[in-house]
Copies of this chain bind each other. A is one copy, B any other.
Amino acid sequence: MIASKSLIAGSWEDGAGSSFTSYDPANEEKLGVHQGVEKSQVDRAVEGAASAYVIYKMFDFDQRAAFIEDVADEIEALGDELLETCHRETGLGIPRLTGERGRTCGQLRAFAALVREGSWQQARIDTAIPDRTPIPKSDIRRVLRPLGPIAVFSASNFPLAFSTLGGDTAAALAAGNPVVVKGHPSHPATSALCASAIEKAIEKNNLPQGLFSLLQGAEPSVSSELVKHPKIKAVGFTGSTHVGRILYDLGASRPEPIPVYAEMGSTNPLFILPKAIQNRLNKIARGLAGSITLGTGQFCTKPGLVFVLKSGDSDAFKEVLTQAIGDIQTGNLLNSGIKSGLTKKLDAYDHKKELTTIAGGAVNGGTLFSVSGSDFLENPELEEEVFGPVAILVECENIDEMLRAASRLGGHLTGTIHSDNDPESEALKTILEEKAGRIIYNGFPTGVEVCPSMHHGGPYPATTFAASTSVGTAAIERFCSVVCYQDAPDDHLPEALKNENPRGIMRLLNGQYTAEKVEA
């Protein structure tokens, strides 16, 4: 019933803009025609968010945490309907979607726990020194605080965990901000169901309905109006480099510029050093084949570039990897846009004289190309992300060539080193620290742990802000501002800065970390 509707500050509405169609990726049958929103609906959603902000930012932290936990509970309460709807729209399969729902609810609960604990506010206190000469020192206290309405753009490849109620929404809500989601047009019914879950949690917690809106649509103008709205204070986006950059530029060129945190994909270079390949080529090849084809290669952390040093071992590795990729049954691609992009790229690579197709080559299975290290160095476009179960094996003549190739790379979300105490690993790591947000040893980049230490980011063009993460609890910082108070009376200070420290949070007090209260 709500499958084609938008939720605008509490009201379920048909969009008044252009229509778009959703398909079943398994058979390309039409699932539904939906109405996208128009500008006046974008405006109402953002105005609703701005009104809700005034209430929500003052909401007690325990209540804020309970609300976010209720969102997770309401997602689970949707039961099989959510999984089946989502499978119909994405073809990702019930087991994978069950896992992704667990992750989505898990990260909401992790943010709720973070809010309740409270130390994420990075409270700092420097107490007064009234008798300091030549001038007295004031009491100064600094804390993170919410920003205002946040726009979140859903990704197609994680219809739950990076979509309507995914990581960015969870982080923004945890920081005390309302959210306006631009739903992905590949899974509108899934988005609407998730919106109905947060709608229930909002009602249960007596929060203002404007706290969350879902805008459906496929028109670029909807996205642009959302980013340009003067009351939007930051944007989270996961998707292509092309769209991410457009949105970033829109945010930066506003009269009041705002940060657009765009995670735009990555080719995730993986390096296998000689001793590692010698000792465990079968294990690495099989693991790698699984990582390349996981989710039909539609993970932003898919390893798309594999570097080896050419040798008898690397030839044997190539053989096992080729076989393993050929053996794996891949699933569907998420939508026709991804399919046509992949078809075009495979066709171009097929005609590229420097590349050899050594496994697959068709759009409905895993594909592996090979290229020499010198040809890789001369064809920088081979570093571009190919969305789908495709990788390029780069066979380097020697370690210098491998290190030169590593140095030539742009920014990626991850870089992986397989090393059995190989002496070259130290130099490689030093290069990769400048290129990737996460460096993985003897593993595979797919599978992003949601935890305080995770950094899912990386230098441009992987993301627009290398120091910001879109996965893990540190993501709360992207949706925070900062304020400091000078000589404020205790009853004017936010909880985190009060002398009593009622929540017992960790604070930097006169340069020392402590969870103690301040002696007044």
Identify the A interface with B (CB < 8 A): 119, 124-126, 135, 137-138, 140-142, 144-145, 147-148, 248-249, 252-253, 256-257, 259, 411, 425-426, 429, 433-434, 436-443, 447, 449, 451-455, 457, 459-461, 464-469, 474, 477, 480-489, 492, 506, 508, 511, 513, 515
Contact = CB atoms under 8 A, between A and B. Distances in A.
Q: How many copies are assembled?
A: 2
Contact of A486 (B257, B440, B484, B511): B440
Given A252-B252, A455-B142, A469 B482 contact: yes
A442 B474 CA distance: 35
List the 4 closest A-B pairs by CB distance, nearest first. Answer: A252-B252, A455-B484, A124-B453, A140-B453
Most buried by B among A142, A144, A147: A142
Given A142-B453, A485-B439, A124 B252 contact: no
B441 A492 contact: yes
Contacts of A142: 452-455, 474
Nearest to A144: B467
Contacts of A506: 506, 513
A449 B137 contact: yes
B488 A449 contact: no
Contacts of A483: 433, 436-439, 455
Given A439-B486, A441-B492, A443-B487, 13 more contacts: A140-B449, A140-B454, A141-B453, A142-B452, A142-B453, A147-B466, A248-B257, A440-B487, A453-B508, A454-B484, A459-B481, A466-B482, A506-B513
Given A253-B252, A453-B125, A513-B119, A467 B485 contact: no
A452 B124 CA distance: 7
Contacts of A447: 135
Given A252-B249, A455-B142, A489 B433 contact: no
